[in-house]
Amino acid sequence: MAELTILGLGDMGPYFEPVSDYLRSVGPILVAADLRVAQCERVYTELGQRQLTGSPTTRLAPARASVFRDCHIDVASLAGNQIMDFGDDAMLDTKARLERSGIRVVGVGRNVAEARMPAIVECDGRRIAVLGYCSVLKKGYDATEHRAGVAPLRVRTFYEPMWDWEPGSPAIVHSVPYEEDLDALREDIARARRDADTVVLMIHWGVHYIPRVIASYQPTIARAALAAGADVIFGHHAHVPKAIAIHFGKVCFYSLGNFIMSQPPHSPQQIATLADLGVVMDPEYPHLAGWDGKRSLIARARVLDDGRVRVSFVPLLIDKELRPEVLRVGDERFTEAVEYMEWVSTDFDHRFTVGGDEVLVTGQ
């Protein structure tokens, strides 16, 4: 069978209309790939009612969904923390809208069985399975046997005082995935493995905005998923690039960062709250959260003739008009981007090798 290329793109859902030439730099990379997958951060609909925990910025006019067609997206995961902010009617209408435009949707459904169902895409004689899940779920947003919602990969969090004899001391945070959800994930991957040649897993998870931090539950899930048969993991939600790690000889991108994304300017209170968490805002990027929100990357998974997956990434920098720019070797910004990814990946097995304008990811 012929070699094929799968691209993993970051969070998508710009609040502001993109400028007309927003794909001028990344367009050739998108067109040259065989399969493109990305995370959908908004609902595109006029249906639904704002939920108690909802945000008005998560619902956009239906026509704005054209950003996914413009980027040639083949599979979109709607498994996110805000996709149910306007209820199941809004989510299901968005799902149907994307599907009518030829985009496969994963991670949501009318019930949990549908939400956990993979998209199986045939490319040049190969079958690629794509699955989507969310670990940062608001109460009631998870799909159940009788309720529409998001494919859940839920997590329990515990706080342990650093010194048990000292009230008010800093806490050690422990996070543990629900065992029943982890078992279901293993079963879903094993089933997809039987039906497809390659399995791609998309997970909305982790701690957003704060550089480098990986929650303790994330490697647990990553190792379980890759051991069960997933070939590569594309992580989302953090809105900054996070660690790239090798587990069992396979690659996990803990966060791809933003791809085509924007939001209204933060209020002074929001900026103060982020500052308390160590997140510094970039005044030149008022529509992105955090100094590192402008950093991004495209994950590239090449499925070789023998079925092995060769993984690399293309460093990006989002410009002040919120266009993703491909960085080229020889540009000091390219070097700085690779150094940044080395820094965020310090605690994990990885080796980065620059080849042309991409960076090959292997184990030590």
pLDDT at res. 69:
97
The tens digit of pLDDT for each residue in 194-228 reads: 999 999 999 999 999 999 999 999 999 999 999 99
The runs of H, that is alpha helices, within 162-303 are 179-195, 217-228, 268-276
Q: Left (φ > 0), alpha (ψ -120 to 50) or beta: where does 351 sit?
A: beta
The runs of H, that is alpha helices, within the chain are 27-32, 66-70, 87-100, 112-115, 179-195, 217-228, 268-276, 332-344
Q: What does 110-148 look like in DSSP terms, one character per residue? A: SSHHHHTPPEEEEETTEEEEEEEEESSPPTT-B-BTTB-
Token pair for 81:
């923390």
Token pair for 320:
């002040």
pLDDT at res. 262:
94
Is the full-model pTM beyond 0.85?
yes
Strand 358-362, strand 59-60: pairing: unpaired
pLDDT over 80 (residue 2)? no
Query: Of all residues in the chain, what percent carry a pLDDT higher than 90?
Result: 86
Residue partners of 345: CB distance under 8 A and separation at least 6 = 243, 244, 245, 352
pLDDT at res. 277:
85
Domain that holds residue 106: 4-362
Question: What is the total count of domains within the chain?
Answer: 1
CATH of the domain at 129: 3.60.21.10
pLDDT over 90 (residue 24)? yes
Q: How confident is the model at residue 1 (pLDDT cuts 50, 70, 90)?
A: low
Phi and psi at residue 281, to the nearest 5°: -85, 150
Query: Cα(184)–Cα(351) distance, rounded to whole angstroms?
Result: 32
Average of per-residue pLDDT across 69-82: 97
pLDDT at res. 169:
87
pLDDT over 70 (residue 85)? yes
pLDDT at res. 270:
86
Asked if residues 271 and 254 have their Cβ atoms less than 8 Å apart, the reply is no
Residue partners of 184: CB distance under 8 A and separation at least 6 = 116
